[in-house]
């Protein structure tokens, strides 16, 4: 019997029915103790075992995109009340990508706890103003998949009421056959949901349950007749493959592929013949028998990437993401799918004395066939010609052309030894350790000595000072003047070198607070063509700080399209999203970073700030402690942890940690005190230390001041003076 309004279940008063919830009725209710609205699911007796399963599953999860369990009664669950509507398509592609990514985040969190949902469908996904919420874990499988026959919910059986366990149209083939399932079954169901989000119609249909099951087992869904990126269509196809081994193997793989599928509306193909050509250049294999020659094979790959970037309309995956597959024996088609490209270039390099042999092959991601292949046996002095020939051959194969003649884009052909020294420097810089940074600078100084007319080593040397300053490793007052001098030397040689122009723009932004000069320098760099990924991210920061948050988000997302596995770019996107007031999206990006690399301490640190804003103090402290453990040298983390410890009553340890900041004169210490006082809502003290951090030119302070955690500071009387010191527009 349905419960009437006013019925009491413990401290909860029933207000109104919401609907059926799988194995029970769901009601809107009032928690009389905390005076809040909740949702209560009341169990039906015959489903009590599954009811208990749902309680265990949801209790094990704590995720933004999963409905929260508040309490458990004798025959009811008390859940978070979600003011939303069931997911329904068709939806615009941007919304599809957003909601799909959040669903993947929720599934990934569940799967990592050993929980398979087994009933993923639109009615179990509610859309709210802040995103989606996954609910109803009544059919969830907790732990490893049982053998067939051990769990009745694996079978398509009927209950006494004549209803089917699960929902036929969203089951995976193995679930429909009564076989054991694992998380890949949820991937199939997700593909069905994704198909429906795009088209507004079910992927599999029939006049009866048996007909629907037959379609799932033996038929393919109708072709996607919607305007969507090719990469997104491929994601749907792969999710819906009949064999679990042919699908994405986990939700994180799907999430990564979805990020690659994000494209601006003007880039989305409306017909197969209009698809944007795209390519990933994998690191060329070093066949020389000497590991020290790896810098050369890597450098050749990177140089080809740089040349291909001059082809208009060609999407070229950046070095960081393309090189993420080094040494991994993976199917080329799966690599292409993960990076969202239609072609892949791979090859090998063998050096012997003054000779070099380069082999290269362009592979079609659709069927793995070779579009083009060639072998070059040349003198080492011909390496630049080899790069140009490979790029030209690719342009011909993709039926496009270079935007400029290579002779124009390479204004100076460097002395070969200097060129090798720059390749070695970039190889060492990619490792990002104090030792590798030192070796890189030695290589760059050698390149400058060998070829004084070579502008690039000066620019790369400038960047080797800016990066550690941004991460708080070198004081800005020490690093930025050194970087500025090198960028200026580069521009004396080549006045329009984009790398140097963007480097000086970053200094104008982060150190001089000269926004007009930064604008001028970015504009000059843009005249030379599209900015590379890192430079686009810097430009995105500039757009945000000059009052254009949506443009900033788009610019940073654009950088990620060409470099989807670059965690630094993704981190910058998270900060821009958080600063733009899109907290859920920003937190989602931070979680995605931690899924890929749990040792990325800055992601833990800023995740803690998002928890703090939401009032989840225990979670904030846990994330802050993790960041502090990974980077004990980061004084900002020390201040933040100390503030949270004080807030939770652990004053003794708080004072111990706070002592690391000393008297606040050390580089980074003022920012640590800013975090400490913001946690305690001590706004005037936070403002005092923010002023000192600005005087130190700590680059992170500008990010902090724009985040939600600093909202009270921005609304205080102190803000006007602070923004004037930073010369914020």
Angle 288-293-298 from CA coordinates, rounded to 5°: 110
For 212, half-sphere exposure in the C-beta direction (CA atoms, 13 angstrom radius) is 17
d(CA 570, CA 324): 15
Looking at residue 157, what is its pLDDT? 31
- Closest Cα to residue 290, out of 350, 355, 380? 350
> What DSSP string describes 417-440?
HHHHHHHHHHHHHTT-SHHHHHHH
d(CA 370, CA 364): 6
Looking at residue 406, what is its pLDDT? 42
Q: Which helix (H) or strand (E) holds 356?
A: strand 355-364
Q: Which of 31, 119, 136, 186 is catalytic?
A: 119
Residues of the chain with pLDDT under 50: 46-47, 147-165, 263-274, 402-409
Q: What is the pLDDT of residues 311-352, one digit of tens each?
A: 878 889 988 898 888 877 677 888 888 888 999 999 999 988
For 330, half-sphere exposure in the C-beta direction (CA atoms, 13 angstrom radius) is 19
Instruction: Please report the domains of the chain, with CATH numbers, ordered by start residue.
Output: 1-81 (3.30.200.20), 85-138+146-272 (1.10.510.10), 277-410 (3.40.50.10070), 598-729 (1.25.40)
d(CA 28, CA 14): 6
Looking at residue 6, what is its pLDDT? 94
pTM: 0.67
In order of 76, 81, 117, 119, 658, the CA distances from 45 in angstroms are 11, 23, 22, 20, 55
Q: Answer whether 198's CB lies under 8 Å from 92's CB.
A: no
Looking at residue 48, what is its pLDDT? 61
> What DSSP string describes 77-115?
EEEE----EE--S---HHHHHHHHHHHHHHHHHHHHTTE
Cis peptide, bond prior to residue 90, ω within 30 of zero:
yes
d(CA 133, CA 130): 9
Long-range Cβ pairs for the range 591-595 (8 Å, 24+): 591/105, 592/101, 592/105, 592/252, 592/255, 592/259, 593/567, 595/108, 595/252, 595/255
For the question of residue 225 being annotated catalytic, the response is no
Strands (E), 365-415: 370-379
Instruction: For residue 275, give every residue at least 6 positions away whose Cβ sits within 8 Å of its Cβ, in sequence order, or none.
Output: 230, 269, 342
Looking at residue 329, what is its pLDDT? 66
């Amino acid at each position: 019997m349905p419960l009437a309004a006013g019925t009491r279940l413990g401290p909860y008063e029933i207000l109104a029915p919401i609907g059926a919830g799988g194995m029970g009725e769901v009601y809107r209710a009032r928690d009389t103790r905390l005076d809040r609205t909740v949702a209560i699911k009341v169990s039906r007796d015959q489903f009590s075992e599954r009811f208990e399963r749902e309680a265990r599953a949801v209790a094990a999860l704590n995720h933004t995109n999963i409905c929260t369990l508040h309490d458990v009664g004798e025959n009811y669950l008390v859940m978070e009340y979600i003011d939303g509507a069931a997911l329904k398509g068709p939806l615009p592609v941007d919304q599809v990508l957003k909601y799909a990514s959040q669903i993947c985040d929720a599934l990934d969190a569940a799967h990592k706890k050993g929980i398979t949902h087994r009933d993923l469908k639109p009615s179990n996904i509610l859309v709210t103003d802040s995103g989606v919420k996954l609910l109803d874990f009544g059919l969830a499988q907790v732990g490893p998949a049982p053998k067939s026959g051990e769990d009745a919910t694996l079978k398509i059986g009927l209950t006494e009421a004549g209803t089917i366990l699960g929902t036929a149209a969203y089951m995976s083939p193995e679930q429909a056959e009564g076989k054991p399932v694992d998380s890949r079954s949820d991937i199939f169901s997700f593909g069905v949901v994704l198909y429906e989000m795009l088209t507004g119609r079910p992927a599999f249909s029939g006049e009866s349950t048996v007909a629907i099951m037959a379609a799932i087992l033996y038929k393919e869904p109708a072709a996607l007749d919607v305007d969507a990126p090719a990469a997104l269509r491929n994601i749907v196809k792969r999710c819906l493959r009949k064999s679990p081994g042919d699908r994405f193997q986990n939700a994180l793989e799907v999430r990564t592929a979805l990020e690659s599928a994000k494209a601006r509306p003007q880039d989305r193909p409306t017909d197969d013949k209009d698809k944007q050509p795209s390519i990933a250049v994998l690191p060329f294999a070093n066949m020389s028998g000497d590991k020290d020659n790896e810098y050369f094979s890597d450098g050749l790959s990177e140089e080809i990437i740089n040349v291909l970037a001059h082809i208009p309309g060609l999407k070229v995956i950046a070095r960081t993401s393309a090189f993420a597959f080094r040494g991994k024996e993976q199917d080329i088609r799966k690599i292409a799918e993960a990076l969202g490209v239609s072609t892949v270039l791979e090859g090998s390099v063998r050096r012997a004395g003054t000779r070099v042999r380069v082999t290269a092959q362009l592979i079609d991601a659709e069927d793995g066939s070779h579009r083009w292949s060639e072998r070059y046996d040349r003198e080492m002095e011909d390496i630049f010609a080899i790069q140009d020939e490979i790029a030209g051959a690719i342009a011909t194969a993709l039926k496009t052309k270079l935007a400029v003649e290579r002779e124009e884009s390479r204004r100076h052909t460097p002395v070969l030894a200097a060129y090798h020294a720059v390749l070695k420097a970039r190889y060492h810089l990619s490792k990002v350790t104090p030792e590798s940074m030192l070796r890189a600078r030695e290589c760059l100084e050698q390149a400058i000595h060998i070829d004084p007319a070579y502008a690039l080593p000066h620019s790369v040397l400038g960047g080797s000072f800016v990066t550690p300053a941004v991460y708080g490793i070198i004081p800005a007052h020490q690093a930025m003047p050194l970087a500025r001098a090198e960028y200026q030397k580069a521009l004396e040689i080549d006045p329009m070198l984009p790398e140097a122009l963007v480097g000086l723009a970053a200094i104008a932004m982060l150190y001089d607070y000269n926004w007009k000069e930064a604008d001028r320098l970015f504009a000059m760099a843009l005249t030379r063509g599209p900015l590379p990924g890192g430079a686009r991210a810097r430009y995105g920061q500039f757009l945000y700080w000059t009052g254009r948050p949506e443009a900033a988000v788009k610019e940073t997302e654009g950088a990620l399209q060409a470099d989807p596995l670059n965690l630094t770019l993704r981190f910058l996107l998270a900060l821009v999203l958080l600063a733009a007031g899109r907290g859920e999206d920003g937190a989602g990006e931070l979680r995605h970073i931690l899924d890929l690399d749990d040792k990325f301490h800055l992601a833990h640190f800023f995740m803690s700030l998002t928890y703090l804003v939401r009032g989840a103090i225990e979670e904030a402290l846990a994330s802050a402690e993790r960041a502090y453990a990974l980077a004990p040298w980061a004084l900002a983390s020390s201040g933040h942890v100390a503030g949270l410890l004080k807030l939770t009553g652990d004053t003794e340890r708080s004072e111990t940690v706070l002592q690391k900041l000393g008297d606040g004169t050390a580089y980074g210490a003022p920012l640590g005190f800013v975090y400490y006082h913001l946690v305690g809502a001590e706004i005037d003290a936070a403002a005092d230390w923010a002023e000192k951090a600005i005087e130190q030119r700590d680059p992170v302070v500008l990010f902090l001041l724009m985040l939600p955690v600093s909202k009270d500071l921005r609304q205080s009387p102190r803000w006007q003076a602070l923004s004037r010191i930073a010369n914020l527009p």
